Amino acid sequence: MTRDTRHPETICLHAGYRADPATGAVAPPIYQTTSYQFESTEHARQLFALEQPGNIYSRIMNPTCDMLEQRVAALEGGAAALAVASGQSASAMAVQNIAQAGDNIVSSTDLYGGTWNLFQHTLRQQGIEVRFVDPEDPNAFVEASDAKTRAWYAETLPNPKLHVFPIAEVAELGRQHGIPLIMDNTAAPVLCRPFDHGAAIVVYSTTKFIGGHGTSIGGMIVDGGNFDWAAHPERFPLLNQPDPSYHGAVWTEAAKPLGPIAYVLKARTTLLRDLGAAMSPFNAFLFMQGLETLPLRMREHCRNAQAVADFLDEHPAVTRVIHPSKQESFWRARADRHLAVGYGGLLGFELAGGAEAGRKFIDSLELFYHVANIGDARSLAIHPATTTHAQLTPEEQNATGVSPGYVRLSIGLEHIDDIRADLSQALAKAEGKPA
Ligand code: PLP
């Protein structure tokens, strides 16, 4: 397997697609088709038998999605990727691909609220137990694991705490026990490549920074190709035992001619086939477009967010700024070990006036959008306790770091003076002062 060794700026413009062989078109074509003409009955048979790669039906593969998959896999330094309908479906399928009823995974408590619900309720209802542990203690992952543990799961830069996850330490412990680490890298594309730190699988909500313009919902599962599933046949029966849903295919064997992609091959040929959470080719095109400027945008998100963190840190109405640059040296050193370019586009803060001041602040914003999203080119704000994390109990909210007065910002690409001006006037109103 050859990895693309070019820089992220180059990969994001060139990997996975050069020009359309039929027309020479330089922009990626949108293959808006459900199905593909087989050359013969023998050709069709070979495609279905996985004897040769090729397109069958757009629920399980599509040429525009394929370009995006190749580009994201190259950016991450992974072996292959699978585009899916949303970040939620990426997280769900990443677990369901190796865990079945009676199995468990161990997850960090510091999660996006939607993932928390998926793990705490929906996967549990399906018989997959998710054991939550404090990410501050890598050994907690070992202690919570047993013979039925199929994966460990965490986010690289989880909001609201924005404590970078100790990827290298936990991945190394996992490898000692034959357990893969799945990392949700949604908040840190380009800034962090979890495979470089030992993670086995990366998932994304491409809805956020990768798309970057708030137009489309999508997700991605990337296979690092760096985990030896066949070395642990008892832990991974779904990859090592004949699959009755695919005429007895053993995925670690079936993948051999294609490369170290057993995990993602199975996800495509069984879960995407059966659950049908496919990405539309039009959305794949928009994500390709987003990727073209991703490294550039991430630099600017980081620069603006740093300036906002410094500004809020000096503001008398603000009691606490949550941003990796403002964390104690231990946390900051961890962020420095895992993140390149900067500390990301997200930050949080708490107001002296608590929840009421937080609400007033958000209602007073004029430039920032008040939305349940992150990673847009525009600046965004939300009050998590009453929105994204509202379905959690107060205890669960506390465990994920959401206090009643916490305000989350996703800093966009506007001019920093205009961002600061909007924050200033909204902070003044939140304090009850004239702007
Ligand atoms: N992971 C993280 C870190 C997220 O922030 C989100 C959405 O906010 C998701 C996953 C889910 O992604 P989607 O909304 O694309 O389903």
Contact (CB, 8 A) for 158 and 109: no
How much distance in Å is there from the Cα of 314 to the middle of ligand 1? 31
How many angstroms separate the CA atoms of 302 and 412, rounded? 9
Q: State which of 116, 192, 207 you would mutate to test the pocket of ligand 1, scoring each by most atoms of that ligand within 8 A of its C-beta.
A: 207
**398 — pLDDT class (breaks 50, 70, 90):** confident
Per residue in 72-119, pLDDT (tens digit) is 999 999 999 999 999 999 999 999 999 999 999 999 999 988 999 999
Q: Is the dihedral of CA 257, 280, 64, 378 positive or negative?
A: negative
Per residue in 182-216, pLDDT (tens digit) is 999 999 999 999 999 999 999 999 999 999 999 99
For residues 221-225, average pLDDT: 98
For residues 14-38, average pLDDT: 96
Q: What's the pLDDT score for residue 69?
A: 98
Q: What's the pLDDT score for residue 266?
A: 98
How much distance in Å is there from the Cα of 85 to the middle of ligand 1? 11
**401 — pLDDT class (breaks 50, 70, 90):** confident
How much distance in Å is there from the Cα of 369 to the middle of ligand 1? 18
Q: Which residues line ligand 1 (CB under 6 A)?
A: 86-88, 91, 112, 114-115, 155, 184, 186-187, 205, 207, 217, 219, 374
How much distance in Å is there from the Cα of 112 to the middle of ligand 1? 7
Q: Which atom number of ligand 1 is nearest to the Cα of residue 187?
A: 3
Nearest to 68 by CA among 108, 11, 20: 11
pTM of the model: 0.97
Q: CA 382, 388, 392, 397: dihedral to nearest 10 degrees?
A: -40
**434 — pLDDT class (breaks 50, 70, 90):** low
Residue nearest to atom 8 of ligand 1 (CA): 373
Per residue in 323-338, pLDDT (tens digit) is 999 999 999 999 999 9
How much distance in Å is there from the Cα of 90 to the middle of ligand 1? 9
Q: Which domains does the chain have, with CATH numbers?
A: 8-27+35-282 (3.40.640.10), 294-430 (3.90.1150.10)
How much distance in Å is there from the Cα of 87 to the middle of ligand 1? 5
Amino acid at 205: S
| N-to-C CA span, the chain | 59
Q: What's the pLDDT score for residue 230?
A: 98
Per residue in 352-391, pLDDT (tens digit) is 888 888 889 999 999 999 999 999 999 999 988 888 877 7
How much distance in Å is there from the Cα of 190 to the middle of ligand 1? 17
Q: What's the pLDDT score for residue 435?
A: 59
Q: What's the pLDDT score for residue 393?
A: 82
Q: Which atom number of ligand 1 is nearest to the Cα of residue 217?
A: 15
Q: Is the pLDDT of residue 397 over 80?
A: no
Residue nearest to atom 13 of ligand 1 (CA): 87
